[in-house]
Each structure stands twice: as C-alpha cells, then as structure tokens.
A and B are shown apart, each in its own frame.
Chain A
Amino acid sequence: MSRRLRVNPIACEGHGLCAELLPELIRLDDWGYPIIEPTEVAPELLGLARRAVDACPTLALLIEEIPTRDG
C-alpha cells in the first residue's frame, strides 16, 4: 500500500494550515493554496501527515491509499 496526500480543491479554502504543519510535503502557491509533493508519504512522516489532515478546517486534505502490486 502506498500513501499519497491529496487536496480536494473544491473544499480547500486556502487557510494554509497544512503547509505550516507539514512543510516537508506541502508548500503554498502565490495565492495561498497548497501544492503537494507528488511523492508518496514516507513512513516517518505519516504521523505528521495524519495530524495535518485532522487539522484542516474544511476536511479538504486526504490521505489516499493506493494499492501496489505487492499489497
């Protein structure tokens, strides 16, 4: 299973909280909306990623689980 962060851009209001909590994977564009690293979330960052997901006030940040061939 590989895990990636994803934003629902319709729900996101550009609060930028996520980028503060997880600068390793999220930066903001010139208008304050998050740009997510397209790489998978490294295991050591998973805890922080979950915290950012929980902190998003509009529930716009998601962790997507992508099945890989070896499960």
Chain B
Amino acid sequence: MTGTLAGHPGLPRLLAGLDQSGRTMSQSEHERIHGALPHLSAHELIDAVQASGLRGRGGADFPTAVKLRALAARRRVSAVVVNGSETEPASAKDRLLLSRLPHLVLDGAMLAAEAVGAREVIVKLNERAASSLHAVAGALPLRQRDPVPVRLIAAPDGYVTGEETAVMHFLNGGAPIPTFVPPRPFERGYQGRPTLVQNAETLAQLALVARFGPRWFRELGTVADPGSALVTISGAVADPGVYELAFGTPMTDLLAAAGGATEPLRALLVGGYFGTWVDSASALGLRLAREDLRSVGCQLGSGVLIALGESACGLHESARVASYLAEQSAGQCGPCVHGLRAVADSLEALADGGAHPRERDRVLRWAGEIRGRGACHHPDGAVRFVESAIEVFGGEIEWHRHNHCTARPAGLPIPASASASASASASAFRSAASEAKR
C-alpha cells in the first residue's frame, strides 16, 4: 500500500498522482502534476532550501541547506550522489520514489548539481532493488534537458553499505565499507574531490521546494519540523506500506493511515533498526515531530515505524534484530565487531531464559562503552536499539527464565543472506547496472 491519511488537506505532495497500479510515472505525467523543472540560481535554491527548513531523510536529520552551502563554497565538486541504498530492511520509501517517481528524484539531483557546481550525478542503488534500477534506467534517456550527465550504479546490499563514506569508498573502486573520518565526503569524496551525498527522499523534497517555495513547504508540518515525510509502516497493521504524512500528525493517525492496528499493541519501534522501542502507552500519545520523539529518547531516522502486537515477544524480536546488526558490522573496528556480537548473544540468552538477569546490567555497560567507538555510527545505532529493548521489555526477562515463551514471530524483516557480509572483496561486488552518459 501507498498513500496518505484520507482527507488530510495539502497531501499528498511527493506521492501526488500515484495510484496503486505499481506503474512508473512518465515524465509528461510528472510535469503535468508538478510543472517543468524551474531555473534557479545557486543562491536562490540554497536560500529557498534554508527557508524551508528541509532536513536530510537518510537518517542523520542534517539540515540540507548547510550541506549545500558548504559544497557550493568549494571548488571542483565531483558529483551529487543520490543515496538510494535504502539498506534498512523495514524501509521502502526510497525504493517507492525511485521505482515509481524517478523524475522527481532526478529533478532534485539536477537542481542540487547546478547549485553546487557538480560535474555529474550518480544514482547509487541497492542491487536488490530491481524495479528501481529498471525505472531509473528507463527514465534517464528521456531527460534531454538535464545540465549534467547521470550515471546509475548498483551496489551490494548490506546494512552499512548505505553509509556515506562506504558509498564513496565503493564509487572509488573499493569495498562498500565505511572509512575513517575526516575526510568526510564534502571534503574529499568521489574521485578524491568534494561530493554531495543526499538521500533520495531529501532530493525529491528539494525538487518540490524549488518549484513551490519555502512558504508552501511550511504550510504542512510544525515550525521545527516543516513539510511532509514518507513513513514506512509495518508490523501489526492492516495495510503496511509507505505513507506520506505531515509532520505533527498524531501517532494514532499514522497507524490509522496504515489501516489501523490488527491487535492490541505492545510497543512501537520508531526509526527502524537504528531506532528506539517505545511502549505503546507512551507512543500513542506522540506526534510525528522531533520534539515529541525526543521526549521519549527517539528519532524518526529514515522514517520507519513498526507496530509490535501483544502476541509477539519484544525480547525475542529484539535479539534477532541485534544479531542481524552484529552480523552487518563491516568487521573493521574492534568495539563494533566484538561488542555488538557480545551484546546480541547476551540479549538472546536473556530472551531464551538461559542467562542470569544480571546479564542485563552487563549488556547495558557494554552498550555504553561501545557507543561512539566505531569509525561509523553503525554501533551507535545498534546499541541505542538494544538499550531501548531492555528499557521497554526488560521487565519480561525474569518471566522468560521460568517460562517457555510461545509468542509467535512478529516477522520483523531480516534479509535472507544477511551473513553475506559487506566486507567481501570489492571487485566481486562491483556491478555497474547501466550507464547513461551524454
């Protein structure tokens, strides 16, 4: 399912004109709905983005205008990279944009490329996203008026392959694994030159800001969180899918947009596998807004929401996810490699009833010690997830020691070949899907 909250004024924006057919929107249809790509000077575009308050939708929540300005001030920018990796297993929004609305994302990339003076646009996709690859490849030849050439690159799946330094390393011919910072991509990225990396949804939003302006953008959302967001809702809801919602929307309306809960809810996972479990009692009182989410220690991240029903076991589900995240370590940093494995094993032992409840204190100590000690933020996201699991489901540890847990698996998605680690050799992985150089 895709859609929005029925009857919400001003929505959909990004998803305007999209039906349930699964068809890719043609360029003419796209221009009929949104109008042609406008021409703005670098200053005009960056000022509009700044006034809009747009922030990155890839998870780091960074103000987009700040990044654009930093790049525009540098010479010899090599590329704008559309980060379409979407390696978060429970997220589907970037795939939806790229497979159904490729022209909207490409418009945003072109505007950004002109604003920062980039020589090319590189669309970096996950090789598993077949329909996105197909749709973008089909869209490129139609874009005759684009100011810079576009290349489409497919890269292997793996949780950390979407991290921006991993993207740079891969584009530069290495394995899709993160590198030590500095340098960050805006300093030294693709071809060793400054590079703008932006999430696919961020660029789609930017394409609308450029057309309709910051005031229009702020007609939806809150002062601190203007605009709309794509949220992938799954778990115990009737119609899981990607929904476009205004910031400030109550959590209960988010669930209603996805057809409502299918059973009483135990908790919500906000922000995906780098996110935070929130007890359903507190979660249902929140709005989709940074200030509300922060009050319970969470962030929207890449816009993933998973509803956990009371029939599921939060401890077991969390142990599975923690184990997946440990497996997804790029294997480079001691605290990430050993720490995440240890934390995941302990969480599993606690869920299976085989560990003394004091093990929980050890997990929390490890989590605190691991935080901030990897080259990238993978371990930070993983320990935040684990800490929240213990906070929300910790009261069930004692019960699991003395009882056999018969909860049904809740089906939190874990990619099949999760153990095919991203650290395998780069050349085996490299697969440029298509090139459209003009």
A→B interface (CB under 8 Å): 7-14, 29-33, 35
Question: What's the minimum C-beta distance from A32 to chain B, rounded to whole angstroms?
Answer: 7
| A9 touching B369 in the complex, CB below 8 Å, given contacts A30-B342, A31-B339 | no
What chain B residues lie within 8 Å of A32 (beta carbons)? 334
What chain B residues lie within 8 Å of A12 (beta carbons)? 333-334
- Which of A10, A13, A31, A32 has the most B CB atoms < 10 Å from its CB? A10
The verdict on B338 contacting chain A, using a C-beta distance below 8 Å, is yes
> Are A10 and B375 touching (Cβ within 8 A)?
yes
What chain B residues lie within 8 Å of A11 (beta carbons)? 180
| A10 touching B339 in the complex, CB below 8 Å, given contacts A33-B334, A35-B373 | no
Closest A residue, CB atoms, query B178: A10
Interchain pairs with CB closer than 8 A, number:
42
Distance, CA A13 to CA B332, complexed state (A): 10
10 residue pairs from A and B, CB less than 8 Å apart: A7-B373, A9-B333, A10-B375, A29-B339, A29-B370, A30-B366, A31-B334, A31-B338, A31-B342, A33-B335
The verdict on B179 contacting chain A, using a C-beta distance below 8 Å, is yes
What chain A residues lie within 8 Å of B332 (beta carbons)? 9-10
What chain A residues lie within 8 Å of B369 (beta carbons)? 29, 35
> Are A8 and B375 touching (Cβ within 8 A)?
yes
The verdict on B155 contacting chain A, using a C-beta distance below 8 Å, is no
Closest A residue, CB atoms, query B370: A29
Q: Which of A9, A14, A35 meets B375, CB within 8 Å?
A: A9
| A33 touching B373 in the complex, CB below 8 Å, given contacts A9-B332, A9-B333, A10-B179 | yes
> Are A10 and B335 touching (Cβ within 8 A)?
no
Question: What's the minimum C-beta distance from B423 to chain A, rounded to whole angstroms?
Answer: 11
> Are B366 and A9 touching (Cβ within 8 A)?
no
Closest B residue, CB atoms, query A33: B334
What chain B residues lie within 8 Å of A30 (beta carbons)? 338, 342, 366
Q: Which of B179, B180, B334, B366 meets A14, CB within 8 Å?
A: B334
The verdict on B123 contacting chain A, using a C-beta distance below 8 Å, is no
Distance, CA A32 to CA B335, complexed state (A): 9
Question: What's the minimum C-beta distance from A66 to chain B, rounded to whole angstroms?
Answer: 12
Distance, CA A12 to CA B375, complexed state (A): 11
What chain A residues lie within 8 Å of B342 (beta carbons)? 30-31
The verdict on B374 contacting chain A, using a C-beta distance below 8 Å, is yes
Closest A residue, CB atoms, query B179: A10
Contact with A along B351-393 (1 / 0, CB 8 A): 0000000000000001001100111000000000000000000
**Count class of interface residues, chain B:** 10 to 19
What chain B residues lie within 8 Å of A9 (beta carbons)? 180, 332-336, 373-375
B→A interface (CB under 8 Å): 179-180, 332-336, 338-339, 342, 366, 369-370, 373-375
Distance, CA A34 to CA B170, complexed state (A): 29
- Which of A8, A9, A13 has the most B CB atoms < 10 Å from its CB? A9
Closest A residue, CB atoms, query B333: A9
Distance, CA A33 to CA B336, complexed state (A): 10
Question: What's the minimum C-beta distance from A12 to chain B, rounded to whole angstroms?
Answer: 6
Query: Which A-B residue pairs are the 10 nearest by beta carbons?
Result: A9-B333, A33-B334, A31-B338, A10-B332, A8-B180, A10-B375, A14-B334, A9-B375, A10-B180, A33-B335
Closest B residue, CB atoms, query A8: B180
7 more contacts with CB within 8 A, not counting A9-B375, A10-B332, A33-B373, are: A9-B180, A10-B333, A12-B333, A13-B334, A30-B366, A31-B342, A33-B335
Distance, CA A8 to CA B369, complexed state (A): 16
What chain A residues lie within 8 Å of B336 (beta carbons)? 9
> Are B335 and A29 touching (Cβ within 8 A)?
yes
What chain A residues lie within 8 Å of B179 (beta carbons)? 10
Distance, CA A26 to CA B336, complexed state (A): 18
What chain B residues lie within 8 Å of A35 (beta carbons)? 369, 373
Question: What's the minimum C-beta distance from B175 to chain A, rounded to whole angstroms?
Answer: 12
What chain B residues lie within 8 Å of A29 (beta carbons)? 334-335, 339, 369-370
Distance, CA A29 to CA B337, complexed state (A): 13
What chain A residues lie within 8 Å of B374 (beta carbons)? 9
What chain A residues lie within 8 Å of B335 (beta carbons)? 9, 29, 31, 33
Distance, CA A33 to CA B338, complexed state (A): 10
Distance, CA A41 to CA B409, complexed state (A): 50
Question: What's the minimum C-beta distance from B367 to chain A, rounded to whole angstroms?
Answer: 12
Distance, CA A14 to CA B334, complexed state (A): 7
Closest B residue, CB atoms, query A64: B182
